[in-house]
Amino acid sequence: GAVVSQHPSRVICKSGTSVKIECRSLDFQATTMFWYRQFPKQSLMLMATSNEGSKATYEQGVEKDKFLINHASLTLSTLTVTSAHPEDSSFYICSARLPSGGALFNEQFFGPGTRLTVL
């Protein structure tokens, strides 16, 4: 099956610093990737849809200047949390979808997640 990786798996940073999280599709090309955030004991919330070569589409209430998304290649999307604060501490998860027409088109493949702690 398709594999999605995330790096780092865990990061602790000081308040005010920026943190970059990478999401890679290892064995397929993903024209579309998604970024989710999950707070403890809560469900996943979609933050943005990332399309290769174009600007990300952010969900309502998500600050695009705070959560910078770059999808520069078909196998890599990055999420940068700028000027992180303690309330940004969360579990960040990315997913990728096979291009239209693929046999597994309706599946999304999720990364293992990145746990961010902002002190």
Partner 1 sequence: DAKTTQPNSMESNEEEPVHLPCNHSTISGTDYIHWYRQLPSQGPEYVIHGLTSNVNNRMASLAIAEDRKSSTLILHRATLRDAAVYYCILLRGTASKLTFGTGTRLQVTL
Question: Which residues of the shown chain bind partner 1 in the complex (CB under 8 A)?
Answer: 4, 6, 32, 34, 36, 43-46, 49, 91, 93-95, 97, 100, 105-113, 115
For residue 46, the minimal CB distance to partner 1 (Å) is 6
Measured from the CB atom, is 19 or 113 closer to partner 1? Answer: 113
Instruction: State whether residue 88 is helix, strand or coil.
Output: helix
For residue 77, the minimal CB distance to partner 1 (Å) is 14
> Considering only CA atoms, which of 96, 80, 90 is closest in space to residue 25?
96
For residue 37, the minimal CB distance to partner 1 (Å) is 11
Measured from the CB atom, is 14 or 40 closer to partner 1? Answer: 40
**CA–CA distance, 29 with 116 (Å, rounded to integer):** 27
Measured from the CB atom, is 16 or 26 closer to partner 1? Answer: 26
For residue 34, the minimal CB distance to partner 1 (Å) is 7
Taking every pair of Cα atoms in the chain, the longest distance, rounded to a whole number of angstroms, is 44
**CA–CA distance, 71 with 22 (Å, rounded to integer):** 10
Measured from the CB atom, is 1 or 14 closer to partner 1? Answer: 1
- The DSSP code sequence of 56-85 is -EEPTT--TTTEEEEEEETTEEEEEE-S--
